[in-house]
A = this chain, B = another copy of it.
Amino acid sequence: MEGSGPVISVAAALDHLLGLVAPLPTETVTLRAAAGRVMSEPLAALHDQPPFDASAMDGYAVVKDAEPDDTFTIIGEAAAGHPFVGVLDYSDAVRIFTGAPIPPGATRVIIQEDVRRDGDRITVTGAPGDGPNIRPGGGDFAKGKVHQPRTPLGSRDSALLAAMGHGLVPVARKPVVALLMTGDELRPPGQVLAEGQITASNGYGLAAMCEAAGAEVRILPIASDTAASLSQAFRLAAGADLLITIGGASVGDHDLIADVAGDAGLDLSFHKVAMRPGKPLLAGRMGDMALVGLPGNPVSAMVCGVIFILPMLRRMQGLPNFSEILSYPLADAIAANGPRQHYMRAQVRDGRITVLDRQDSSLLSVLRDATHLVVRPPGDPARVAGEGVSALRLPA
C-alpha cells in the first residue's frame, strides 16, 4: 500500500472503474418524477398522434374544394373534444375549431377569414387556397412508435412521452453515492477554524456534481485519520452503490484508507494514474459497493469527479460512456507537457481557449473561473498560439 503499485493511463483507469459498476435495476416513476432521469426500457406510443384528423384552424369543414362565391349550409359544430356526429352533403359545412376532429368525409377546412356568415349559411369570399388545413391523424407519430433517448429525460421528452400516453415511466434507479471526506484537519463549513485546520470543501462540490448527474448523495460525517474512524465511516456507507473517499489516498504515513479498506474486504484495483491533477487513486469493490478513493486536493478531487465519477454514474444509469471533447484554437502558446495526462484549467472566450496561469491543484478559485479542461496527452509538445487543442467543457 506504500505507493508501490504500477502507474496506469487515464484510459486504463477509466476502463477499470467502469468495470466496478453495472446498470442499476429499473423502477417505475410518474412522468413528472421522471424528468432528468434515464429511461431503462423503451416505451411505445399508445395511440396515433394526433389520434384523428384534426382541424389546424378555426373555420368550416366541407367535403369538396371551395371557390369564391360558393355557399354552404351549416349543419353542426365540431370543437376540440366535441366531435360532430353526422354526414355532410356537398352543400353542407360544419363550424369547426382548431384541434377538433374533422367530420367523416370532410376533405378541407375553409378558414373563417375567407367566408361571410349569415345565420346558418356561409359564402366563400376570399380564395381559400390549396391547403386542406387538416392535421392528419398519425402525422406526428404512429401508435407503437418507440421512444428511449440515450440521455437524461429533458423537457421535450416529458412532452413527447405525455403525448404518447404515458403517465408512468421506467427509469434506472438513482445511484446512491456516499461521500466521505477524511482528514484530522477538516472542519465542516460554518465552523470556526483552529490553528492548522481548514474547511472541508471538495465533498460539497462532488455532492453537487453527482446530484446534477442523477445520483442521490449522502455526505458522511468527516472521518479523522484513524483506522477506527475510517472503519466506522465505511460501515455508515452501507447501502450505497458507490463510496467515494476524498483524501488519504496518497502515499504518506498518514494515509490509512487503503489499509482500512483492505481490512474491510476491499478488492483493491490500482493506485496511481498518470494524470494531473489527481495522481493517487484507489478503486475496488467492497461487497455490493464500488469504492473510489480520490486525492484530497480540491481541484484534483473535482477533476477526478469529472473524468472518472461522472462516467461511472452514467454507466450505473445505463447511459453510454460519452464526453464531448472539442478542439479550440489556443489564445496563447503553452509549454510542453510532462509524462502525465494533464487536465489544464482553461477558459473559452470568443471561440479561443486560454490556459489559465495558475495550475496548482489546490486553487479552487481558478477551477471556478475555468469553463473547460484542456486535455493534454503525456508528452504533448509545446503548442503555439492558434494551434488547436482538445478540451472538455466543465459541468456547471
Contacts and interface: CB of A to CB of B under 8 A. Distances in A.
A283 B156 CA distance: 24
Given A79-B225, A83-B195, A365-B140, A158 B190 contact: no
Tier of interface size on chain A: 35 or more
A365 B195 CA distance: 60
Interface stretch (A50-58, A260-268, A376-384): A50-58
A99 B183 contact: yes
Contact of A159 (B156, B160, B201): B201
Nearest to A151: B396
A184 interface: yes
A97 B368 contact: no
Interface in A18-63: 31-32, 35-36, 47, 49-52, 56, 58
A195 B51 CA distance: 9
Contacts of A190: 165-168
Contact of A206 (B155, B197, B395): B155
A44 to B, nearest CB: 13
A205 B155 contact: yes
A204 B158 contact: yes
A231 interface: no
Contacts of A98: 250, 252, 296
Interface string A65-82: 000000000000001111
Q: How many copies does the complex hold?
A: 2
Contacts of A154: 208, 212, 395-396
A161 to B, nearest CB: 7
Q: Is chain A's interface secondary structure helix, strand, loop, or mixed overall?
A: loop
Interface string A159-181: 11111111110000000000000
A341 interface: no
A201 B362 contact: no
Contacts of A50: 198, 362
B97 A162 contact: no
Contacts of A291: none
A339 interface: no
Given A139-B363, A140-B365, A190-B166, A51 B198 contact: yes
Contacts of A153: 208
A240 interface: no
A216 interface: no
Contacts of A396: 151-152, 154-155
A286 interface: no
Nearest to A149: B368
Contact of A135 (B197, B202, B360): B360
B81 A202 contact: no
Interface string A175-215: 00000000111101111010111111111111111011000
